[in-house]
């Protein structure tokens, strides 16, 4: 069995595929298997691969970067795998240098070479970095090609050319195919890898050339821009903690101003979608928490009363709880300006099975009201209900 599978992802790559395949044949490291994934090409690539006898698998329709590359990665039976774009070109010692590094430490799950432009006159990537506003950028982009000459650990790998441990990919679940069609999938995978306790290393002695965005710019247009923004928000929602969110919000006015000047419709469309999704998820999680908490009481209740002084978390959660295990749900608010929206005192007739209060927020008068109108009263502060 060979030691590494080189997975080349191709989409309408007749202009670029022969070049990357030739550079693979010229590698000094020979202990490899080759697999080309033809990701829904329509330019005759599949027919050319068959005619040339190149090991390949063809899929249709196009599944984006993550979906396409995962097909090849999951077919690999070697201890290591490499991801290679069809618009890349490897220097003769590239794979050998990457293998030399990744085999030195079992904690190293991924190694990236120095990636320069196709002409070799500028640095393209020395890894990934987090910038203002929660954006992911390539480290060193646009610098002289001799920059970043030291090997070092990095926070993220640029998957245009990289070598991975197969067992590490299996453990973290490969590339997330929700990052469709392209962008931020390598950052997402990098964060999953580091959270699992692995290292990611940049190896400057390994060299690769890349025609950055060649296929995307040719084929996607506006779709590329909207994909970049949508996937940025997807990545942030998956991985950002409060500190990073705070930094992103701090820069949000400047970022928005920048895209206003650029008249970038994709930014505003994706931001609107993001805000709607966050709101929808908040309401959905509130409903789920409320239904779960009420069902953890003494069984189903026919009438439930929520008592509060204003529209705090307690009231919002229960008011939105359409899935609550009760036939009737009432909310009573003491503040006058909210009474019209909810239950007024004249409707508090008869006995409720359960009354819910938040003792941290409610007044003694509200607690007394709850006890007067319900058989059982529970305190609920957003976590687990407890008897009063």
Residues 251 and 212 grouped into a single domain:
no
Between CA 379 and CA 365 the distance in angstroms is 15
Alpha-carbon gap, residue 293 to 77, rounded angstroms: 47
For the stretch 73-119, pLDDT in tens is 999 999 999 999 999 999 999 999 999 999 999 999 999 999 999 99
- Examine the domain organization and report whether 204 and 77 are in the same domain: yes
Residue 383 φ then ψ, to 5°: -120, -95
Q: CB-hemisphere CA count at 13 Å for 31?
A: 10
- Is the pLDDT assigned to residue 294 strictly greater than 90? no
Q: Residue 45 and residue 18: Cα distance in Å, rounded? A: 10
Structure confidence by residue, pLDDT tens digits, 40-73: 999 899 999 999 999 999 998 889 899 999 999 9
Rounded CA-CA distance 19/249 in Å is 44
Could you report the per-residue pLDDT of 296-325, keeping only the tens digit for each?
455 555 566 666 654 444 444 444 433 344
The answer to which of 76-85, 232-241, 306-315, 356-365 has the lowest mean pLDDT is 306-315
CA 186 to chain centre: 9
Asked whether 203 and 110 are in contact (CB, 8 A), the reply is no
Residues 256 and 383 in one domain: no
Which one, of 205, 201, 13, 190, lies nearest residue 95 by Cα? Answer: 205
Note whether 257 and 325 are same-domain residues. Answer: no
Same domain for 235 and 162, yes or no, is no
Question: Residue 91 belongs to a domain with what CATH number?
Answer: 3.90.550.10
- Whether residues 138 and 188 fall in one domain: yes
Looking at 186, 218, 250, the residue that finishes a domain is 218
256: containing domain: 222-288
CA distance 116 to 133: 26
pLDDT recorded at residue 361: 58
CB 102 within 8 A of CB 206: no
Domains of the chain: total: 3
Domain boundary among 171, 192, 218: 218
pLDDT value of residue 364: 72
Identify which of 376, 336, 342, 341 has the alpha carbon closest to the alpha carbon of residue 357. 376
Residues 105 and 11 in one domain: yes
CB distance 57 to 38 below 8 Å: yes
């Amino acid at each position: 069995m060979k030691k590494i599978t080189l997975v080349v992802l191709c989409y309408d790559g007749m202009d670029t595929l022969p070049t990357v395949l030739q550079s693979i044949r010229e590698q000094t490291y020979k202990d490899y298997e080759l697999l080309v994934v033809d990701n829904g090409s329509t330019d005759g690539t599949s027919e050319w691969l068959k005619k040339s006898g190149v090991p390949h698998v063809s899929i249709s329709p196009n599944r984006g970067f993550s979906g396409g590359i995962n097909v090849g990665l999951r077919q690999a039976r070697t201890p290591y795998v490499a991801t290679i774009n069809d618009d890349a070109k490897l220097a003769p010692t590239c794979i050998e240098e990457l293998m030399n590094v990744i085999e030195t430490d079992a904690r190293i799950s991924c190694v990236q070479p120095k990636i320069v432009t196709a002409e070799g006159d500028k640095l393209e990537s020395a890894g990934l970095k987090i910038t203002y506003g929660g954006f992911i950028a390539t480290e060193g982009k646009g610098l002289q090609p001799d920059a970043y000459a030291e090997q070092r650990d990095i926070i993220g790998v640029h998957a245009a050319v990289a070598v991975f441990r197969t067992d590490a990919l299996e453990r973290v679940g490969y590339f997330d195919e929700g990052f469709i069609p392209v962008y931020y999938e390598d950052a997402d995978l990098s964060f999953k890898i580091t959270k699992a306790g692995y290292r990611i290393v940049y190896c400057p002695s390994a060299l690769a050339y890349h025609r950055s965005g060649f296929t995307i710019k040719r084929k996607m247009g506006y779709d590329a821009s909207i994909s970049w923004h949508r996937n940025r928000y997807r990545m942030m929602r998956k991985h950002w903690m409060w500190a990073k969110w705070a930094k992103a919000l701090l820069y949000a006015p400047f970022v928005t101003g920048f895209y206003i000047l650029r008249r970038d419709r994709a930014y505003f469309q994706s931001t609107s979608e993001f805000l709607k999704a966050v709101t929808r998820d908040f309401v959905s999680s509130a409903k789920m928490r409320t239904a779960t908490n009420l069902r953890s009481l003494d069984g189903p209740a026919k009438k439930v009363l929520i008592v509060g002084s204003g529209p705090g978390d307690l009231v919002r959660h229960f008011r939105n709880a359409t899935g609550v295990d009760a036939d009737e749900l009432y909310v009573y608010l003491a503040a006058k300006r909210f009474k019209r929206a909810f239950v007024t005192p004249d409707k508090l007739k008869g006995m409720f099975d359960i009354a819910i209060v938040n003792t941290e927020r409610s007044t003694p008068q509200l607690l007394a009201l709850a006890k007067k109108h319900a058989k059982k009263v529970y305190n609920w502060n957003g976590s687990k209900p407890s008897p009063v």
